[in-house]
Structure 1
Amino acid sequence: MAARKRVANRYYSGPLSDHFDGTLFFNPNGKPPARFSDLLKWQLGGERSKWPTADPSPFRQATPAKRIDGSGLRLTMVGHSSLLIQTAGLNILTDPVWSQRASPLPFAGPKRVNPPGIAFSNLPPIDLVLVSHNHYDHLDLATLKRLKTKHDPLVLTPLGNDAIIDAGVRGMRLSVHDWGERVEIGNDVAVHVEPVHHWSARGTRDRRMALWAGFVVETPGGKVYFAGDTGFHDGINYRLMAGRHGGFRLAILPIGAYEPRWFMAPHHQNPEEAVQGMLLCNAAYAAGCHWGTFRLTNEPIDEPARKLGEALDDQGVPQERFRALRPGEVWDVPAL
């Protein structure tokens, strides 16, 4: 039987590297995404916990300050992996999703069970947007289009995602980078693009054609690590972050979408692993994201926060050091 012809990369072409084979990106010494047969086995296997159709946050929608100057660091939870970081006079959004569904379809796919923790009309001027990868719960073109119209921010994203954004949002200001690159932003702030263990796809024929990444935001008040979406990967990338950056004032780490482990473990860490990651990367404080807004996997809606608390107790880490944030929750992160 003749070998199947490899589909050309529609998003990126560039030199080979330790995580790009000339066509596809990959996790060095890591695992690729599961096969389609494994996806069907999971989807047809049942065992999905029932989520409520609505799960309002105990916090009201926040009205952020216009700016937080100097070394102050304020974090406001929007929902899932969307957070507002305010420091050094800059306003930074991570993986912004204000749409009702994390899906290519407006009438199907994961639907949010709580409204965004900041009404879009109440956003302060947005200077920078960090987009970690192209899955629909992280790269939402409808939201980026709204941000372009109202705020015209700079969007910083890893290789290949610029092709997706540019095709959907005309004229968006884009800064596109590989792992290991550093970008000067201004106000004595710089962003490092860093490796995480994940994958990418917008459909069935573009798997791993765009890169995935985390970000380290270097500020006058300390470093902030946003891991985007990641598996624990034996702690390899957390140790790498500690080695490169010394430590962090704050790490924003995913704690949800991790069951069943046989399917999700390579690419979504659980709360126990998130606590290990916090300790390995030497973060003084951590904020838990990627939970409680979109039902993506099997675990109950409240399990990530509960298991995070248990893991912190098991490791002897004070609960106030790692908070599972809810939409609208505002945290002035203590100084180092």
Structure 2
Amino acid sequence: MNTARCGIEDKVFTPHRDREQQFKSKKSYRWKLTEKDLPVLGVAKIRQQIQQSFNDWAKHSTLTFHEASEHDEADINLTFVDRYHKEGYRFDGPNGVLAYTVEPFSESIVFESTEEWTDKYNGVGYHLRLIATHQIGHVLGLDHSNDKSSVMFPYYRSIKSEEILSKTDRARIQALYGKPGLTAMHTTTSAIRTTESEKATTITTSTDKSSNELIKSRKENGRFINSFNPKFKLPNLGHALSWKTSAPDNTRLPFTKTELDKILPVTQHKKPKELYRTTPGLRFIWIGHASCFIQMNNFRFLVDPVFSERCGMTSLVGPKRFRPPALTINDLPDDLDAILISHNHFDHLDYLSVKRLNERYGERLTWFCGRGTRQWFLFNRVKNVVELDWWEEYHFSKKKVNIAFCPAQHWSHRTAFDMNKALWGSYAVWDATHKFYFAGDTGYTHNISIFRQIGNKYGPFDLSAIPIGAYEPRWMMQAQHVSPDEAVQIHIDVQSKKSIGIHWGTWALANEYFMEPPKKLAHAIENNGLDPSSFIVVKHGEIIDLP
């Protein structure tokens, strides 16, 4: 018989009353993983498993959990130690005590690092998410259960169900903290100012004091920085250029259009009426790379539209498409409302595409961009432009839609003299019934908190567009482009119900095999125990409708 079990004794909890009242008076908790003596599973997978464990309890109660940043204090601390640590009597070697909580409502969870931890349900090793969910239950005040279907059963056994918490577990946590959806909404104060355009109003919202501070953009020496991450650093330019000129090409792009059409087919829509959704809901079409068409009820908009053959300073310079755009400017509907630009890199902001869109729509279109980019539009005779700072919101009164510019970890550059003179970011878009998130271009390093903050402030999102490509080699791309594994963590952090992978399959901007991103995404979804349909890739031009 397998004796692997929890280190807490099988008895009814008698928690310290002051500690219990202090813990239960809060509804939002911050947690932190000590990145020392970690098992071979690795820090990224460990962090993902722990986040899933907190999510298991959050979705069935009024509680919320957020990972604390490196420099913040946490309410709940998680560590891995070997059997000989100072309270080593709790551990007894492999296949014995797996983890323990010091006491009910404690701030500490301890795991034995020498156990064989896994993130897979294959019968090999101990599934970290199950053990962490059990220990978090203790932290929240639950003692052991005799019900073998309960996650609080003291002995280890695999639960393969998507629903880790049993009915008993859900009832017990709700008895302590209430059912989800019953908590009062946090209110914020707003300062309203009218913009030059009479079509809309900009709303700047204050930070909810119960959450982590929302860090605004900041300049150093006249240039924007990733102010939420003091450790952000781009790779050395000389090393990057050396690699670019000497590294072998691993993209393995087919040489013929026929072969590409088989592997990456493009569905093109020549009739604008095909793009219209006639019933309420969300419609998404991937045009290619980061360019997307979205209809949210009666609000139609594009994100980062690039229709040119190349992405560079001119039509003759820069990487050439290996897949054509699924839509052309002439294919777009006449009543397009807005265009959202995440940042000014050439694969996201293209002069010829902007020029032709402006020729067709003029001031009927409202353009959105980050601070420092509006002047570029005005110089190119685009007039109806709204410039936003991180966490700044804009109410599009004509369609009763809200647009918020959110942080991303990236940089900006179009000429030799404008490095980081313009702000980069992502977007949250919502109306009375739906929410959409566009992640733009971003890295995810040093456990930055911005995506959790976006999810807490604007989520959960019905649909998100998250980059999954242009990530190799990691030493060069990690700070600026997420891998599929990191994309899944963004999906989790922003609380996205469904996400679509973008920023791949159009230009060869990095050095991974051109069809690797969707494969790695599928592995990341499986490793996180998520529904495969919750984060997908689609064909160029494929129409995705959500109710």
What's the TM-score, normalizing by structure 1?
Answer: 0.89
2:490 maps to which residue?
277
Counterpart of 1:176, as a letter, is E
Q: Which has the larger radius of gyration?
A: 2
* Distance change (3 Å), C-alpha of 1:179 and 1:239: same
Q: 2:404 aligns with which of 189, 192, 199?
A: 192
Q: 2:387 aligns with which of 167, 176, 179?
A: 176
After superposing on structure 2, the runs of 4+ consecutive aligned residues of structure 1 that deviate more than 6 Å are none
Counterpart of 2:534, as a letter, is R
Q: 1:139 aligns with which of 349, 353, 368?
A: 349
Matches within 5 A, 1:20-59: 20-21=219-220, 23-28=222-227, 29-30=229-230, 31-49=232-250, 50-53=252-255, 54=257, 55-56=260-261, 57-59=264-266
Counterpart of 1:208, as a letter, is N
Residues 217 and 224, structure 2, Cα contact 8 Å, conserved in 1? no
Matches within 5 A, 1:290-305: 290-305=503-518
Separation in 1, partners of 2:272, 2:234: 38
Separation in 2, partners of 1:180, 1:331: 28
Kindly state the Cα deviation for residue 267 of structure 1 after the two structures are TM-superposed: 0.7
Q: 2:520 aligns with which of 288, 296, 307?
A: 307
Separation in 1, partners of 2:243, 2:435: 38
2:144 maps to which residue?
none
Q: 1:89 aligns with which of 298, 302, 305?
A: 298
Q: Secondary structure of 2:482's partner?
A: coil
Q: Secondary structure of 1:184's partner?
A: strand
- 1:221-251 CA deviation, whole Å, 9 max, x = no partner? 3211101100013252211112212311111
Residues 51 and 301, structure 1, Cα contact 8 Å, conserved in 2? yes
Residues 235 and 277, structure 1, Cα contact 8 Å, conserved in 2? no
Separation in 2, partners of 1:18, 1:115: 35
Q: Secondary structure of 1:224's partner?
A: strand
Separation in 1, partners of 2:284, 2:424: 23
Q: 2:282 aligns with which of 55, 70, 73?
A: 73
Matches within 5 A, 1:151-230: 151-152=361-362, 153-167=365-379, 169-186=380-397, 187-230=399-442
Percent identical residues? 33
* Distance change (3 Å), C-alpha of 1:211 and 1:42: same
Counterpart of 2:329, as a letter, is F
Counterpart of 2:248, as a letter, is E
Unaligned regions of 5+ residues in structure 2, if any? 1-215
Q: Secondary structure of 1:163's partner?
A: helix
Separation in 2, partners of 1:58, 1:319: 22
Counterpart of 2:224, as a letter, is F
Separation in 1, partners of 2:433, 2:321: 33
Separation in 2, partners of 1:162, 1:51: 37
Residues 412 and 420, structure 2, Cα contact 8 Å, conserved in 1? yes
Kindly state the Cα deviation for residue 103 of structure 1 after the two structures are TM-superposed: 0.7
* Distance change (3 Å), C-alpha of 1:219 and 1:156: same
Counterpart of 1:178, as a letter, is D
Pairs aligned (count) = 317
Q: Secondary structure of 2:443's partner?
A: coil
Q: Secondary structure of 1:239's partner?
A: helix
2:340 maps to which residue?
130
Kindly state the Cα deviation for residue 163 of structure 1 after the two structures are TM-superposed: 1.8
72-81 vs 35-44, greater mean Cα deviation: 35-44
Residues 179 and 213, structure 1, Cα contact 8 Å, conserved in 2? yes
Residues 32 and 199, structure 1, Cα contact 8 Å, conserved in 2? no
Residues 409 and 480, structure 2, Cα contact 8 Å, conserved in 1? yes
Q: Secondary structure of 2:224's partner?
A: coil
Separation in 2, partners of 1:147, 1:317: 39
1:317 maps to which residue?
530
Separation in 1, partners of 2:531, 2:266: 22
107-116 vs 127-136, greater mean Cα deviation: 107-116
Q: Secondary structure of 1:309's partner?
A: helix
Q: Secondary structure of 2:277's partner?
A: coil
Matches within 5 A, 1:112-127: 112-125=321-334, 126-127=336-337
1:150 aligns with 2:339: no
Separation in 2, partners of 1:302, 1:74: 25
Unaligned regions of 5+ residues in structure 1, if any? 1-16
Computed over aligned residues only, the root mean square deviation of the Cα atoms, in angstroms, reads 1.8
- 1:68-106 CA deviation, whole Å, 9 max, x = no partner? 366410000100000000012111000000000011132
Separation in 1, partners of 2:382, 2:502: 30
1:265 aligns with 2:478: yes
